[in-house]
Amino acid sequence: MSIRLLSLAICYLWCCSVSYGQNIRINEVQASNTVYQDEDGDTPDWIELHNLSTEAINLEGWSLTDKMDNEPYWTFTNKIINSGAYEYLWASGKNRISAGSARSLVREDDIFRYIAPTQNQGNSWKNTGYNDSNWDQGQGGFGYGDGDDVTNVSFGTRSVFVRKTFNIENVNAITNLYLDIDFDDAFVAFINGVEITRDNINGAAPNYLSLANTDKEAKIYTGGDPDHYDLMDFLDLLQDGENVLAIQVHNNVTSSSDLTLRPFLTARYNTTTQDGSEVHPLLKYRTSRLHTDFKVSSESETIYVLEPNGNIHDSIVIANLPTEISFGYTPFGNLRYFNITTPDEINSSLGYQGVLNGEILFSNNGGQVDALTLALSTSEPFTSIRYTTDSTIPDATSTLHTTPINISSSTTIRARLFRDGYLPSKVASRNYIIDEDHLLPVVSLITDPKNLFDEEDGIYAYGNNFTNEFPFFGANFWKDEEKPIHISYYGMDNELKVALNGGVKIFGGWSRANDQRSLSLFARKKYGLSDIKYPIFEERSYQSYGAIVLRNAGNDNLVSNMRDIITHELIKDLDLESQAYQSVVTY
């Protein structure tokens, strides 16, 4: 009897055990992503899994974590990876276990109720129960003057009020809410009577006569994207059944040449739904993916895949991952670094053994100097230094630094470390300004010339598709694009105060059409440092800045160039917001 019972027990345990084998592998990880965007427009870290087996695997009950002592772990629900497939998910910390879908609750091409008021409308017009039957009806795209208007209003109209009702079956299924709106010059938006966002207009309750603070040009008709607002904090305003989006748009002057309102209200659901309609193609909402409840550290950590029984199925150790570099397996099973990332695809067979992080030292830090002989050095072993003098990024074919560089005229030096089988280091850059004696601080900007001046992609150039009339809409400098750039700041004593790799955009409204354009300079982690760590404006208490503007004086460009400075100096002691300034020479 006892022998028979023991046999049955062993059989039961054997039949109920599950063997997963080594079927799911963490195939590629990126800890500092700036290219791939999630459904919110962010660029989170990501983790790619690969099913090595010959059968599809349902990951329901499996977990991912970066900390084994931090239970409960982030867990999959009914996620199937097909045989041989690659599947990446966001390591964003947003904790979304269902991909869901995006739907347009209101689109610009819907039919709205609207009015160009000639008297105050009170407050009830924003509410769901308001009787708008005496308002006009028209398709979205309200305004005049830009040639992009579907429903035209009279020239000089101060404001237009619009209403659009929409229905929601289950408000609890909505995880995110967004307003995308193209407008000229200002707006205030409401959902179910409550203000959700506004731009370029003051006042607790602007009435129909209120004017925008300043002029603001619409973007879509010149090839740009509408302004985007995350309404996550207003989800509780929505209700099952009927809701209403109400918007008032305002001109800045009654003589304005144009007025624009083109609104889109989009919801993201944690499931499929028939609410609303397909997202408008103008909006670049991306496919939803799963989001873990943790992020990936670029410095050092281990990521684990856990089976439903809690056993560790696979793990990968991440260490010192630079921006835009991933770490994972080649098709031959070797762990390597990749400068070409391939989420959802097989990795390249040409990975790198490591990444060079050494620093290049300049015997002279540049700025205003006399003719000199420049030496470059590094403490990184087994490496060579290659450099360029034409502002392009050095590659493996650039000049090898073996002897000091003679500099007798103004010269830009850009250098990198190289080693066979390793990714090269970040670019180090210096500008040597010969035979100049400026009495102001100097800003030196160094970037590949094509980033600014290429007719196809250069953001400073006119390009090939601009209109012939000022402000040359369609020109490259109207694009909202950022390019990499090296930023150096030399103080009044000609000593190097700031040297960092950052980003640059064209700044301003119509003043960007001037031949001398304003520039926004950004410190971002993806380039290296997240702050410009120097008190550029001595009268301010700030010790660091995320961004600064090299301003062309706006509408005062090449006139006095001082109007903005004088205005802000006059009001700086009046307990009002004002801008600091520092005159500089820019190269």
**Residues 521 and 485: beta-carbon distance below 8 Å:** yes
pLDDT along the chain (587 residues), means of 10: 34 36 90 88 94 95 95 93 96 89 94 97 95 97 93 96 98 94 97 97 93 92 90 94 98 93 94 91 85 92 96 94 94 96 95 95 97 97 97 98 97 98 96 96 98 96 92 91 97 96 94 94 91 93 94 81 80 81 95
Please give the model's pTM, rounded to 2 decimal places. Answer: 0.74
Report the pLDDT value the prediction gives residue 156, as an integer from 0 to 100: 93
- β-sheet bridge partners, residue 29: 47, 327
Report the pLDDT value the prediction gives residue 370, as an integer from 0 to 100: 96
Tokens coding 557: 């460009």
Assigned fold of 102-269: Jelly Rolls (2.60.120)
- CATH code of domain 19-96+290-354: 2.60.40.1260
Report the pLDDT value the prediction gives residue 21, as an integer from 0 to 100: 59
**Residues 244 and 128: beta-carbon distance below 8 Å:** yes
Classified as helix, coil or strand, 511 is helix
Q: What phi and psi values does residue 126 have, to the nearest 5 degrees?
A: -85, -10
How many Å apart are CA 201 and CA 186, to the nearest integer? 6
CB atoms within 10 A of CB 269: 22
Report the pLDDT value the prediction gives residue 20, as an integer from 0 to 100: 54
H-only helix segments in 447-558: 449-453
Report the pLDDT value the prediction gives residue 512, as an integer from 0 to 100: 93
**Residues 53 and 340: beta-carbon distance below 8 Å:** no
Report the pLDDT value the prediction gives residue 491, as an integer from 0 to 100: 96
- β-sheet bridge partners, residue 361: 377
Report the pLDDT value the prediction gives residue 445, as an integer from 0 to 100: 98
Output the CA–CA distances (angstroms, integers) from residue 53 to 310, 487, 579, in the order listed: 20, 50, 61
352 DSSP 8-state letter: B
Report the pLDDT value the prediction gives residue 179, as an integer from 0 to 100: 97
Report the pLDDT value the prediction gives residue 232, as an integer from 0 to 100: 87
In order, the DSSP letters of 251-273 are -SSTT-S-EEEEEEEEEEESS--
Domains in the chain: boundaries:
19-96+290-354, 102-269, 360-586
